[in-house]
Amino acid sequence: MLEIRQNCELCDKDLAPQAEDAMICSYECTFCVACVAGVLRNVCPNCGGGFVARPIRPSTERREGVSLRQHPPNGTRVLTRWTREEIEAFAAEHAHVPPARR
C-alpha cells in the first residue's frame, strides 16, 4: 500500500492526500509537479527513475475498510538528502534517457 507522503521532498510543499500535483517514482519518492518538471527534469534524484502522478486514495469508504480513514497517509515529512546542485547535475546527466531505459 502506498505511503502517501505528505510533502515534496525537494521544496517541502505540502501535498495533501488529494493533491493532484503529487508525483511519485517506483520507490514512492514524492515530489510536486513543479519540481519534477523544472529542477528534476523527470529524473528521481534518489533512484534515477521517472515519475507518474500519485494516485488519490478515496476519502469516502465506498467499499468496507477501504478509504483514507482506514489507511491514512504517512505522517513523516521526508526530504531528499541531495543538494540542489547535486540534483541538477544528476538530472542533466540522465534526463536525455527515457525512464523506461534508465
For the whole model, what pTM was predicted?
Answer: 0.93
- Give me Rg for the CA atoms of the chain: 14
CA distance 29 to 87: 14
Q: What is the pLDDT of residue 13?
A: 98
User: Model confidence at 70, in pLDDT bands (50, 70, 90)?
Assistant: very high
User: Model confidence at 91, in pLDDT bands (50, 70, 90)?
Assistant: very high
pLDDT in tens, 15-29: 999 999 999 999 999
CA distance 19 to 55: 9
pLDDT in tens, 2-15: 999 999 999 999 99
